[in-house]
A and B are shown apart, each in its own frame.
Chain A
Amino acid sequence: MYVAVKGGEQAITRSLQLLAEARRGDLTVPELSLDQIREQLRLGVARVMQEGSLYDEELAALAMRQAAGDMLEAIFLLRAYRTTLPRFGYTQPLDTNAMRVRRRVSGTFKDVPGGQVLGPTYDYTQRLLEFESTAPTSPLQAEAPLPDTMPRVLDLLDAEALIERIDAGVDPEPIDLTREPLMFPADRATRLQNLARGDEGFLLGMAYSTQRGYAESHPFAGEIRMGEVDVVICPEELGFAIEIGSITLTECQMINQFHGGNGLPPQFTRGYGLCMGEGERKAMSMALVDRTLRCDELGEPAYAPAQNQEFVLSHSDSVEASGFVQHLKLPHYVDFQAELSLLRTLSKQHAQHLNAEETAAQETSS
């Protein structure tokens, strides 16, 4: 129970001033420009866009600066801002097969058609702090560009019928969690929307738990690709589809062992991860958790936290989680007074009870 508490307005005003001052820091140091954040902290920008669930680099950079680098606060700011914008519609499904790949690796096949392209990755860095600022050497360009489209690695297995097929089927209209509440059991499309904007740390922990034995997942990274995909819309005013720009996406196709069950033959199954911007850790975590959450569909014994969709989906959102944990800071004065008074009564009763027992014991012994 919360009560309206009057007073403290001036303290709040001063607190906001202190916040603004702390955020800006030393005035002799130039303020960060949004361009600098967007260009030099691009992975942070990507995370704010993913979990803020809004692809807009400028707004994400602004949110990061305003939140003084607190990513969860920046995500909250972006989520709040999106509610002020009108919804124009839904895009056509993003065609990740036509991605203009800048990175594409497979942990399952060395010689994938189209090749393995490392792209910009921290994987091969030594993780040594570089104290000198390093100006990049002029970027090397290969003589020939990559093929226009790269075949999906998983299609190689599909040709042998060793991996489950995923077809659009009747292509139902998916539930939109920004419009409808999360209901259980949630279908896979709904789960993926939840995971796509879920907290990276939470998903990483959940994914890690599946690898350590809390659900048998036996995963392989079939393919991870990152690059640009065109956004296509079909406005009513036109009646035909147009590209309105491209966005960076990271996609992870996880391959998992499956011994058969629920009427399905033994085959490889798939876990899927897709996220805005460069976000390999997020996409991989999402794919692992997606696969684990399919336990009911595949008839697998469910005992681990990562297999429990109510547990995973209800706790994946950092805006909700952060709000509920931090609301404890709000005045609970009346609540607490009630608890205090109850405890005083109980304590008194306990003391009286002890006294009564002591008196009874003395009477018996005498």
Chain B
Amino acid sequence: MDTPTHLARAQWMSLLAQAEPAELATAMEAFAPPVDATTWLRPPQTGLYMLRGRVGGTGPQFNLGEVSVTRCSVQIGERIGHAWVRGSNSRHAELAACADALMQDAEQGPRLQVQVVEPLRQSLNRRREAASRKAAASKVEFFTVVRGE
């Protein structure tokens, strides 16, 4: 089946958006879409999303402030790819939109999954684990007598 489920697409779009731009660019070098088959439906455009928080973390919503987001849409062949990435890096949004379009392609998709998306996932997990382990190193160990229960 060549129509990806929403869940799978949401996952790869999230990974493409969270990628380090340089790493995404390198990974996408092998997948430069043919220029004559590529139409930029919406060239990269930077705008704002209003961030929402919740009162007390769990209560009603409130507006915290805005965040810059760059969006981009591209058509490659018959596939339409979209991207929304935090910040104002246009190249990042272009690459993510191209990858999103190609990921929907029955032929290219699986190759991208292996050569682009999966490495990005591993890289993201590595970065997160490193940050978490650094923080964990500063965890307080209280030396107190544990009372018997």
Contacts and interface: CB of A to CB of B under 8 A. Distances in A.
B46 A274 contact: no
B65 A53 contact: yes
Nearest to B146: A111
B21 to A, nearest CB: 11
Contacts of B49: 87-91, 231, 233
**What class of interface size applies to chain A in its complex with B?**
35 or more
B128 A100 contact: yes
A141 to B, nearest CB: 4
A116 B138 CA distance: 8
B54 A93 contact: yes
B84 A110 contact: no
B60 A58 contact: no
B55 to A, nearest CB: 6
A26 interface: no
B13 to A, nearest CB: 5
B10 A94 contact: no
Contact of B64 (A111, A169, A276): A276
Contacts of B51: 55, 91, 94, 231, 247, 276
Contacts of A242: 10, 13-14, 17, 84
Given A101-B135, A110-B142, A87 B47 contact: yes
Nearest to B71: A88
Among B7, B85, B86: residue with most chain A CB under 10 A? B86
Interface in A126-145: 139-145
Given A85-B47, A88-B48, A116 B57 contact: no
Interface string B17-55: 110000000000000000000000000011111111111
A117 B68 contact: no
Interface of A: 49-50, 53-59, 82, 85-94, 96-97, 100-103, 110-111, 115-119, 139-146, 152, 166-169, 171-178, 188-190, 192-193, 196-197, 227-228, 230-231, 233, 235, 237-247, 251, 253, 270, 272, 274-276
Given A167-B58, A192-B53, 12 more contacts: A85-B68, A88-B48, A90-B63, A96-B54, A102-B135, A110-B142, A117-B135, A166-B56, A177-B63, A178-B66, A238-B9, A243-B14
Interface of B: 6-7, 9-10, 13-14, 17-18, 45-69, 71, 73, 82, 84-88, 128-140, 142, 144
